[in-house]
Amino acid sequence: MAANELLKRLVTIFSDDDLRHPQLRGIALAQWLLESGRATSDLSTRHYNFGGLKWRKELAGFATRIQYEAHDGVDFYCKFATIENFITGYWVFLNRSPYSGWEAHVSTPEEFIKFIGPVYAGDESYADKVIALLPEANQLLEDAVRVRAEGHQGHEDVHDANGKDLGVIVIDPGHGGTQNLPGSDANHAISVSGVKEKKLALDFSLILRDQIYARAKTGERVKVVMTRETDKNLPGRERARFAFDHKAKLFLCLHFNGNQNRSARGTETYYRAKENGNINLEEDMTFAQSVQTALFKQLKALDNNAKDRGIKPDNEGNPNLPGFGVLNDHNLGNDERRDPCRAAYIEAEFITNPSVEKLLISGPDSINNRTLAMRAVADAVLQQMRQR
């Protein structure tokens, strides 16, 4: 059965996750396929809960509590802000008394699921149902690993190979990994509920990629390249170099702001300043304004208190600032091209603001809201790609 986009995102991230017991990767995914109906259940699509995990206090650092009506009645379940949080939360869920001793039963996938299954589902046949999905899960994981090995550190794909060629866009999810690198810290802001900016940047960026493909018109060909699909960090210069390596028409970074003042909020988009040697200033400003307007308009429709902080040069407030390395025209390869890549850097919102937390991170409609926001950005991106 073909994987939907949400399932693909889950598999991609999980295939590169650092597991203590990697031999359990396939069986865990098989269990999530069963529990989520292959990432089609309401719990998975609205709350990134692919395992049907009910709320337990041990999950407080990884999920928020929601009231949810399942087939067996109303109860409190886990809502995960990101797929990465779900993956971590699943193993935390198992590190509780009902499953004590499970790590003594990990020699094979079958032994593991036969140990936890009866407790997990209260069904003696549950383990066999999961095991039946193991070949499918292993194949999905193998495909994800192969695609990553064949690519250039990030994912690339083509929509409608026979259509009119709109060109390439590189999407750069901010931060990643655990080590600070030149031009790219591992993480910056942390949300009210404790979700790291790097995780949100990846989730929003993957949604944006899928929305670009979904919103492209019949008869159009577009290629999206990701600088990262998993929790990895890359130096700023390497991120920007993707634009040159793939002859990209557009390069779009996605980040989130944070501030000690919890009332601070707003959407802003940066472009390379004239003082920093921008060789296609007007085009960059047009691109930045396009995505800024689209994102703010959608956020305003979702929350009337949304604030438009406008587009800004990357030396804002100080003409001597060197700006962002990912917007540097040399790093982008623009000094070697006749048709310079247009680049912009979105700071989508202040995730330290409680209203933003509810709107985009842990509220009941947050995943749908972020999808609507990225759909608006996708439309703006496609309009830019159609213009040249």
Structure tokens at 163: 């259509």
Tell me what the mean pLDDT of segment 316-345 comes to. 92
- The residue among 146, 162, 194 that closes a domain is 146
Are 120 and 190 members of one domain?
no
Nearest to 82, CA basis, from 170, 201, 187: 201
- β-strands 73-79, 64-70: how paired? antiparallel
Pair (261, 372) in one structural domain? yes
Q: What is the pLDDT of residue 123?
A: 87
- Residue 245: CATH number of its domain: 3.40.630.40
Q: Which residues pair with 205 in a beta bridge?
A: none
Q: Are 4 and 38 in contact (CB under 8 A)?
A: yes
Query: So what's the pLDDT on residue 320?
Result: 85
Residue 126 sits in a domain of what CATH number? 1.10.530.10
- φ, ψ dihedrals at 279, nearest 5°: -95, -5
What does the pLDDT average to over 24-50?
A: 97
pLDDT reading at 56 higher than 50: yes
| Token duo for residue 130 | 């999961």
Domain boundary among 146, 177, 195: 146
- Placement of tokens 């501030």 in the chain: 259
- Interatomic CA distance for residues 59 and 53, integer angstroms: 10
Read off the pLDDT band of 151 (50, 70, 90). low
158 has pLDDT over 80: no
131 and 187 belong to one structural domain: no
Residues 101 and 111: their CA atoms lie apart, in Å, by: 12
Same-domain check for residues 181 and 70: no
**pLDDT interval class at 152 (50, 70, 90):** very low
State whether 186 and 204 are in the same domain: yes
Once rounded to an integer, what is the mean pLDDT over residues 209-217?
94
Q: How far apart are CA 201 and CA 256, in angstroms?
A: 7
Q: Cα dist. 347→179, 270, 285, 314 in Å?
A: 21, 8, 15, 12
Evaluate if residue 146 carries a pLDDT over 50. Answer: yes
Q: What pLDDT, on the 0 to 100 scale, is given for residue 124?
A: 87
221 and 355, same domain (yes or no): yes
- Structure token pair of residue 290: 């396009």
Quote the pLDDT of residue 205. 98
Q: Identify the H or E element spanning 252.
A: strand 250-257
> In this structure, are residues 19 and 37 in contact, taking their beta carbons and an 8 Å threshold?
no
DSSP state of 55: P
Tokens found for residue 24: 């359990």
- Pairwise CA distance, residues 11 & 231, whole Å: 13
150 pLDDT higher than 80: no
What per-residue confidence (pLDDT) applies to 1?
Answer: 45
Tell me, yes or no, whether 160 and 281 share the same domain: yes
Q: Are residues 333 and 201 in the same domain?
A: yes
| Gap between the Cα atoms of 258 and 241, Å rounded | 27
Q: Which amino acid is at 235?
A: P
Give residue-wise pLDDT tens across range 109-135. Answer: 999 999 999 999 988 899 999 999 999
Q: Which range of residues forms the domain containing residue 302?
A: 153-386
Taken as a whole, the chain contains a residue count of: 388
Of the three residues 146, 161, 176, the one that is the final residue of a domain is: 146
Same domain, 162 and 137: no
The conformation of residue 353, written as its DSSP 8-state character, comes to S
